[in-house]
Structure 1
Amino acid sequence: MRERVEKRSKTMQVDRGIDIVGDIHGCYQEFLQLLGLLGYVEKDGYYRHPQGRKLLSLGDITSRGPESLQLLQFFVRHIAAGLAEMTDSNHGWKIARWLDGRAVTLAHGDEKVAEEFRQYEAEFGKKKADELKEASRKLLLTSPSHIMLKRNGEIVAVAVHAGIRDDYIGRESSAVQTYCRYGDIAGVAADGRPIRKEWANERKSQRCLIVWGHDPRLEPEWKNNTLNIDQGCVFGGKLTAYRFPDNELVSVKAAENYSGQTDTPLTRCRERMQAELKLHPGS
């Protein structure tokens, strides 16, 4: 384990606009396609918006998909240049700890990141691979648990990976970080999957908009002034961006189901919706 690192700021000014992007999971080509639709222009390896808009990722940029290292390199460059930001996330935290030399088991697609690093070292050498590992380690370990979007000193929206309680907004602790990475977990099912509470359903406050991902939905989902923009791109769904404060949604369709799984969060979501329709026809 190496030295502790300070988290980056959990505040962004809305100013010229922010484009919040849901879980990418190594789907780099779809990400580039989405940037084009959003109006970003590439020059000298940097994507800039002509109106000065900034990118904000909800985390989980790696794992499951085919090009995690491309995304790590992208966000290392663009965050350093002040063009983008990113929140902490469950897969990001796992990869960060692995890069930090901690004892973790890479599974659920995280092992693909390790394989990409092995291939990268074979092609570019150990020095280059070590440099990228260190830059990626710092990127992921310093990502804030959530990011507050502010206008005229007021919080107008919060971006977070898996969810956040209103009384956690602006705070930082182990409990806050865990909630932001994993959501409200009620336990573990027999198949090993986490049992997630529908925290957005239970939200009572309308303090500000909360934009989140982590738990894929077939389409962007609004509930109690929260917006889920994880449409399961890596499972063959879509990659979604929410343009704030424009209140616009932009999506691109995944080229394929990169996960290689037939039983995915998207298929389970569709099954739940069909079951609800049978129970409540016409609703």
Structure 2
Amino acid sequence: MRHRPQSRSKVMQAGSGVDIIGDVHGCYDEFIQLLHKLGYEPDRSDIYRHKDGRKLLSLGDITSRGPYSIKMLQFFIRHTAAKAAEMVDSNHGWKIARWLDGRPVTLAHGDEKVEEEFRQYQQEHGSKKAEMLKDQSRRLLFSSPSHMMIKQNEEVVAVAVHAGILDDYIGVDAPVVHTFCRYGNVAGVGPDGRPIRLDWAQERKVSRPLIVWGHDPRPQPERKNGTVNIDQGCVFGGMLTAYRFPEDELISVPAQSNYSGLHDTPLTRYMAE
């Protein structure tokens, strides 16, 4: 177990606008397609920037399940270092960070694909480059803030978080907050081994600030009590979605495939309910 890097700032100024992107899960091709659709283009250093100075923000879960976890890690390593993008903590990100740190974790639910990608990367590029990339990825994931507060004139006008957040938790740095932000409101495990998720958004009593979240896929973006879910299950054959703030616009690109290889997915289960 190595030294954990300090968390990056959980405050982002709205500035010229923020583009928040839902769960990518290694769907790198769709991610790049969405960036172009949003108006981002690479510069000579391969850093994607927007001509209007807009900012890019990921809801996490950039790895696992899909085909290109390493490409996604490399993208955010470069872009966070260049202050061109940010990303919040997430459940898969937390699992991969602990695995990279040498902790005893069980890689399942698509996380094992990350291990296989690193094994192939080492075969192609050698142990030294593989270890360097692992350490950079570990630092990226461990330093991601639990949630991001988007401010306008010093007021928190929006919050980006992976799985959800209670209003009393906004701006708070504590283990219970980190856990809620990664997993949402979980009330145990069901007979099928899946977590029982309570609808924290349904219980919300206020509508501001806007909370943009992912983690729990829906076929279409879902608005509820001042929240919007933008995980449309790209890795399961759905869509990859971005929420544009302050325009209140939703922009999506369709998945090229159901990369998970599963027939029974969160999307099919949601539509069956």
Asked if 1:94 is matched to 2:95, the reply is yes
Aligned partner of residue 2 in structure 1, secondary structure: coil
Work out the CA distance in 2 between the residues paired with 1:192 and 1:152: 45
d(CA) in 2 for partners of 1:19 and 1:235? Answer: 22
Distance 2:112 2:174 in 1: 28
| SS of equivalent to 1:267 | helix
Q: TM-score, normalised by structure 1?
A: 0.95
State the shift of 1:232 in Å.
0.1
How far residue 197 of structure 1 moved from its aligned partner, in angstroms, is 0.2
Residue number in structure 2 paired with 1:163: 164
Q: CA RMSD in A?
A: 0.5
* Ranges of 4+ aligned residues in structure 1 off by more than 4 Å: none
Residue 238 (structure 1) aligned with residue 239 (structure 2) = yes
| Distance of 1:159 and 1:168 partners within structure 2 | 13
Q: Offset of 1:88 from its aligned partner? A: 0.1
- 1:42 is displaced (CA, Å) by 1.2
Q: Which residue of 2 aligns with 1:49?
A: 50
In structure 1, distance between residues paired with 2:176 and 2:206: 20
**What residue in structure 2 maps to residue 29 of structure 1?**
29
What's the TM-score once normalised by structure 2's chain length? 0.99
1:211 and 2:212 matched: yes
- Tell me how far 1:67 sits from its aligned partner: 0.2
C-alpha deviation, 1:34, in angstroms = 0.2
Partner of 1:114: 115
Name the amino acid aligned to 1:165. Answer: L
Question: What SS is found at the alignment partner of 2:234?
Answer: coil
Q: Which runs of 5+ in 2 are unaligned?
A: none
**Which residue number in structure 2 is paired with residue 271 of structure 1?**
272
Q: Which moved more, 1:163-172 or 1:205-214?
A: 205-214
1:207 Cα offset (Å): 2.8
Q: Distance in 1 between matches of 2:40 and 2:144?
A: 23
Please give the secondary structure, in 2, of the residue aligned with 1:234.
helix
**Alignment-derived partner of residue 13 in structure 2:** 13
Letter in structure 2 aligned against 1:42: P
Q: Deviations over 1:68-97 (max 9, x none)?
A: 000000000001101100000000000000
Q: Provide the rounded CA distance (Å) in 1 between the counterparts of 2:152 and 2:194.
A: 39
Instruction: Say if 2:20 and 2:59, in contact at 8 Å, map to a contact too.
Output: yes
